[in-house]
């Protein structure tokens, strides 16, 4: 009897029947909690870049392209951790259940959101997005110093340095 105990596997197999899923001819085994590709809502996104700073593999990047600022999402490097959705202050990012992303064109794996920009009052370089400026104004009730929203960080540094400089000169001149 002991010799043939391993034959018991047959009865287990019969009881269990076919385990195989018929995917792709039936729905995949995706649970409601599954984290797939992310979707950036172009209406809600203000281009603040919070998601690009937390993204562990730098799949989300933000940068200037000519006169525009572009938020780029590269699905091919995404690790589907959902941190971007977790930190997004505008709740513009949602995690979808999409995982059927295979393609033969690497370019197909990019999603881009293009923002119109605000140009620096001094050097003329685009430095932030129109929507971000509006959002800041809305949130702090229009009490933002004018320079903060119209001058780019580099020019602002120079401006401050000049102000301090002139003060110091002024003091020593007295």
Q: Which residues pair with 104 in a beta bridge?
A: none
Per the CB < 8 A criterion, the answer to whether 71 and 40 are in contact is: yes
- Smallest distance, Å, CB 72 to another protein? 9
- Smallest distance, Å, CB 142 to another protein? 18
Q: Where is 151: in which H helix or E strand? A: none
Number of amino acids touching another protein (CB under 8 A): 67
Site string for another protein, 81-110 (x = CB under 8 A): xxx--x------------xxxxxxxxxxxx
Say whether residue 17 binds another protein (CB under 8 A): no
CA distance 170 to 163: 10
Say whether residue 122 binds another protein (CB under 8 A): no
Label residue 58 left, alpha or beta by phi (over 0 means left) and psi (-120 to 50 means alpha): left
**CA end-to-end distance (rounded Å), the chain:** 110
Per the CB < 8 A criterion, the answer to whether 129 and 69 are in contact is: yes
Between 134 and 167, name the residue whose CB sits nearer to another protein.
134
CA distance 62 to 65: 10
Say whether residue 76 binds another protein (CB under 8 A): yes
Say whether residue 64 binds another protein (CB under 8 A): no
Structure tokens at 94: 């949602």
Say whether residue 136 binds another protein (CB under 8 A): no
Site string for another protein, 147-166 (x = CB under 8 A): --------------------
Phi/psi at 113 (5° precision): -120, 120
Say whether residue 57 binds another protein (CB under 8 A): yes
Contacts with another protein, residue ranges (CB under 8 A): 2-3, 5-6, 8-9, 12-13, 16, 19-21, 23-24, 28-35, 37, 42-47, 53-59, 74-83, 86, 99-116, 129, 131
């Amino acid at each position: 009897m002991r010799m043939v105990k391993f034959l018991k596997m047959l009865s287990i197999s019969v009881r269990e029947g076919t385990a195989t899923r018929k995917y792709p001819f039936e729905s995949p085994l995706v649970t409601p909690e599954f984290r797939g590709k992310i979707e950036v809502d172009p209406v809600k996104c203000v281009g603040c870049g919070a998601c690009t700073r937390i993204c562990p593999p730098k799949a989300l990047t933000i940068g200037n392209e000519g006169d525009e600022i572009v938020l780029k999402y590269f699905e091919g490097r995404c690790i589907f951790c959902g941190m971007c959705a977790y930190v997004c202050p505008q709740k513009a990012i949602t995690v979808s259940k999409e995982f059927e992303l295979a393609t033969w064109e690497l370019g197909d794996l990019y999603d881009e959101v293009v923002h119109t920009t605000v140009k620096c009052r001094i050097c003329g370089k685009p430095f932030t997005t129109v929507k971000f400026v509006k959002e800041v104004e809305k949130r702090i009730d229009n009490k933002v110093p004018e320079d903060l929203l119209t001058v780019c960080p580099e020019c602002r540094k120079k401006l401050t340095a000049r102000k301090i400089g002139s003060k110091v000169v002024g003091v020593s001149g007295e």
